[in-house]
Chain A
């Protein structure tokens, strides 16, 4: 699926975002860094979809915002078509925003309640083409609405008059109206009913194919990501644990954390009783990113942790078949868990 020779559209190198946390008593105020994203690197090709999975608070949304320059990174580079976006001034960055767009998690909250659907979708157009004629804007907006499966005659309605799934379609139309090349989807279906989730995922997939978009698709649910991604990056405490092709990841995860995520996916079958903590193999909660564990950040929760894991940070290493993993014991562990029904590939 991913041709290796084409230059990537997006190349991220050692990206890190820290938030300053003001902390301490009244007298002795301390500023401590919260390492939300800490050294993420990846590449994305034209037309490719990268899934990003991890628990909330692991830095997925921060990563998305940093890629768009909505939060300033502490270090690292974001090369968009060869040009570094980090360090660009507000104006230059604004121009780039035509090419990179974002879709948010909460479909209703991401739409201004006092604007009509038509105005919401048209806002990026007004911003970049202030002189464009009204009729043209309207025509374009109606076209977009139709493309995302909304009835164009609803153009004068307000967000609260639509259901969650429809609001997400509006958000998608707004993101697409400027013909971007990359769309970052920050948990676009987490707030939707499962029955509607599938609609939105299928829509995004259709649009991607039709418009040759590159997608970064963020979710906390591996099962959701599976259906849309070519490759998947698993994040934990601001770091990448594994970057692997979707097929490999689900058949044989390389990292114990990926394994836990795979096991957490609920199975709608009565025989398969789940027993939360024990069965996912995850002990306890995610530690605070304010003071991440030493060595492998996953070691306090990892069932396979050994002494070495406490001491040494495992680097993200390239494994067979072009997959990457950050675990000392990746070779020894056999985490094959996903059994397929006979007769399927």
Chain B
């Protein structure tokens, strides 16, 4: 049985301008110990899909579909039941390390309370455990730094602390929402490596959300590409990077600025902007930005298997 099975996930928001259908029928599974990267531009619904699974949508949002965690549907659960799973079985790390930490409480307070609450440890045990976790994420001198407050750490360190907090209860699934986006490249490399390391050591499954295909190549097994609330491509890391089958994925790969290529002049950009979720184009949503668009694209493409479980949502027969 897969660890997590998401079926036909929908997320809708009521806004003054109308209904935003932010996630439009997402299906995926996550096996124990698997690393899944969810990739797409901002606004493509990556975060909202995860929040919906955890029952954390904003007030004006509604969700539909199923999210089976070890067979139990998270989305049908009562709030208190879901609350038991959050943090203990499924932990989520957010993009902005500053706003996810309470600025007025020391790191110790924040970590120890979580450990006591979810694991029933005594205060002393919880503290020892917290220090251990900080050491695991390579915070130097964790015994004394644990007493400091969030603003006394650099952005990269805060992100590491968040990871430590996420790991505190040894969850089965760690969801990291753009954990490296706000960070320096040097730190990005460290954090990505760190996530990989802890995931491999503990055997937990990880969902890594990002807009940058450069970051996840080394740290995940499968990649799910989202565009305008839909999965447009899904495959193993090899399949996605070596033979992408959707023009959008191709564009995402090409737009990563690289040092290991010739000094050709212009960078490859995906033209245009992420779509307006209030008025999506007819047919293929990517049509107005796609350099390969042809007549058939006036018709919305279905998700198709391109061989070996490599899924794509595009009319093109050949690789773009």
Determine whether A and B are in direct contact in the complex, meaning some CB atoms lie less than 8 angstroms apart: yes
A223:B257 contact, CB within 8 angstroms: yes
Complex contacts, A194 vs chain B, CB 8 Å:
211-214, 252, 255-257
B257:A275 contact, CB within 8 angstroms: no
Using CB atoms, name the residue of chain A closest to B248.
Answer: A195
A264:B270 contact, CB within 8 angstroms: no
Complex contacts, A55 vs chain B, CB 8 Å:
184, 186-187
CB distance from B218 to the nearest CB of A (A): 4
Instruction: Rank and list the top 4 A-B pairs by shortest CB-CB distance, nearest first.
Output: A276-B193, A344-B262, A198-B269, A266-B214
Q: Would you call the interface of chain B mostly helix, strand, loop, or mixed?
A: loop
* A23 interface hit (Cβ, 8 Å): no
Stretch at the interface among A78-86, A111-119, A159-167, A317-325: A159-167
Complex partner residue of A226 from B238, B256, B263, CB under 8 angstroms: B263
Interface residues of A in 138-178 (CB under 8 A from B): 163-166
Question: A interface, how many residues as a size bin?
Answer: 35 or more
Interface residues of A (CB under 8 A from B): 55-57, 163-166, 193-199, 201-202, 205, 220-224, 226-227, 246-247, 250, 260-270, 272-280, 282, 284-286, 338-341, 344-345
Complex partner residue of B241 from A263, A268, A275, CB under 8 angstroms: A268
A226:B193 contact, CB within 8 angstroms: no
Given A202-B269, A260-B186, A268-B214: A226 and B194 within 8 A (CB)? no
A338:B255 contact, CB within 8 angstroms: no
Given A194-B211, A198-B269, A277-B138: A270 and B258 within 8 A (CB)? no
Complex contacts, B260 vs chain A, CB 8 Å:
267, 338-340
Using CB atoms, name the residue of chain A closest to B289.
Answer: A195
Given A222-B185, A264-B185, A266-B185: A196 and B256 within 8 A (CB)? no
Question: Complex formed: what's the CA distance from A64 to B238 in Å?
Answer: 42
CB distance from A225 to the nearest CB of B (A): 9
Using CB atoms, name the residue of chain B closest to A260.
Answer: B186
Complex contacts, B301 vs chain A, CB 8 Å:
none
A166:B273 contact, CB within 8 angstroms: yes
Complex partner residue of A267 from B238, B258, B262, B271, CB under 8 angstroms: B258
Question: Complex formed: what's the CA distance from A67 to B220 in Å?
Answer: 43
A267:B269 contact, CB within 8 angstroms: no
* B83 interface hit (Cβ, 8 Å): no
B269:A56 contact, CB within 8 angstroms: no
Complex contacts, A263 vs chain B, CB 8 Å:
189
Stretch at the interface among B53-61, B103-111, B114-122, B151-159: B151-159
B218:A274 contact, CB within 8 angstroms: yes
Given A198-B257, A227-B267, A266-B217: A340 and B189 within 8 A (CB)? no
